[in-house]
């Protein structure tokens, strides 16, 4: 029996097994494990020209402690977050606050500006302020260079 048909079948099987692979990096999805409709695409939805711009959503930074387990450490880094007070009716007496913690991917301002997001729907319903905190080491929130 000839070895060439067996070799051919082996190569075809190897090719078929490796021809399609999801876009992963170090065992994680390239753009994080996000569940919004905006996810799993190569474009940044905040740059999509079809999305309306919301002046109510703002990008801010605050000084975050680098090591929460060492009381003697005074090192800090700048952590990014977004906020939107649109549904608080300009009141200083805020009744509710919604906070979304960023996942394993860069956080987008549309998290607190896109009214189709569940958090923003609830913020509108309850007159709440909306905040979104970017996960360290993802996006621009990087404690170390």
- Give 52-111 pLDDT, tens digit per residue: 555 688 889 988 888 888 888 888 888 889 999 988 877 677 889 999 998 877 888 888
Residue that wins the pLDDT comparison between 138 and 100: 100
In this predicted structure, what is the pLDDT of residue 100?
Answer: 92
Q: Please enumerate, as own/partner, the contacts of 36-43 that have beta carbons within 8 Å and a separation of 24 or more.
A: 36/117, 37/116, 38/108, 38/110, 39/105
d(CA 106, CA 30): 11
What's the pTM?
Answer: 0.62
Q: Are strands 129-133 and 97-101 parallel, antiparallel or unpaired?
A: parallel
Q: Is the pLDDT of residue 22 over 80?
A: no
Asked if residue 85 lies in contact with residue 20, where contact means CB atoms within 8 angstroms, the answer is: no
């Amino acid at each position: 029996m000839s070895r060439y048909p067996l070799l051919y079948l082996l190569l075809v099987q190897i090719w078929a097994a490796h021809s399609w692979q999801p876009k992963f990096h170090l065992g994680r999805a390239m753009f994080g494990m996000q569940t919004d409709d905006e996810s799993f695409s190569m474009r940044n939805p905040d740059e999509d020209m079809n999305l309306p711009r919301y002046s109510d959503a703002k990008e801010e930074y605050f000084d975050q402690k680098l090591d929460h387990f060492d009381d003697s450490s005074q090192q800090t880094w700048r952590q990014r977050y977004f906020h939107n007070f649109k549904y608080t009716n300009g009141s200083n007496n805020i009744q509710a606050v919604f906070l979304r913690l960023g996942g394993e991917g860069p956080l987008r301002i549309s998290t607190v500006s896109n009214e189709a997001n569940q958090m923003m729907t609830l913020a509108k319903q309850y007159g709440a302020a909306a905040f979104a905190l970017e996960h360290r080491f993802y996006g621009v929130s990087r404690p170390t260079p």
